[in-house]
Amino acid sequence: MIDKLADADEPISLEPMNKFPIVRDLIVDRSRLFNDLKRVKAWIPIDGTYELGPGPSLTQREQERLYPLSRCTGCGCCLEACPQYTQTNKFVGAAVISQARLFNAHPVGAN
């Protein structure tokens, strides 16, 4: 990666994401994203106070269908690119919607 950056023909600017409040330098506060995940209940509190058990089995086909949704890391890049997601509105954006879809499609979320 460093070699590729050094070989770049044009200057590369590093800027903080502009959809989240800046904490310092390139650090932003993405707590809105995590609060929105909690708001739509796309969040499982794991505090060790109760036995979660093995959970229901998924067929191979269900696993393959849901796996892409489970890969969201909460990076916020989709929100950064989305013109509908702003610092002043309440739209939750693609990351939260995809996690709501994942939880609604999963047998645990269906109960």
Given the complex with ligand SF4, which of 58 and 94 has the nearer CB atom? 94
Long-range CB contacts (< 8 A, 24+ apart) of 41-49? 41/100, 41/103, 42/96, 42/99, 42/100, 42/102, 42/103
Task: State the nearest-atom distance from the C-beta of 109 to ligand SF4, in Å.
Answer: 18
Task: State the nearest-atom distance from the C-beta of 29 to ligand SF4, in Å.
Answer: 15
Helix, strand, or coil (residue 51): coil
In 13-82, beta strands by DSSP E? 22-24, 27-28
Task: State the nearest-atom distance from the C-beta of 58 to ligand SF4, in Å.
Answer: 21
The answer to whether residue 95 forms part of the interface with ligand SF4 (CB under 6 A) is: yes
The answer to whether residue 34 forms part of the interface with ligand SF4 (CB under 6 A) is: no
Q: Which two tokens stand for residue 20?
A: 């989240």
Query: Rule CB under 6 A: which of 47-86 touch ligand SF4?
Result: 72-78
The answer to whether residue 40 forms part of the interface with ligand SF4 (CB under 6 A) is: no
Q: Which two tokens stand for residue 108?
A: 């645990």
Question: Which residues of the chain form contacts with ligand SF4 (CB under 6 A)?
Answer: 72-78, 94-95, 98
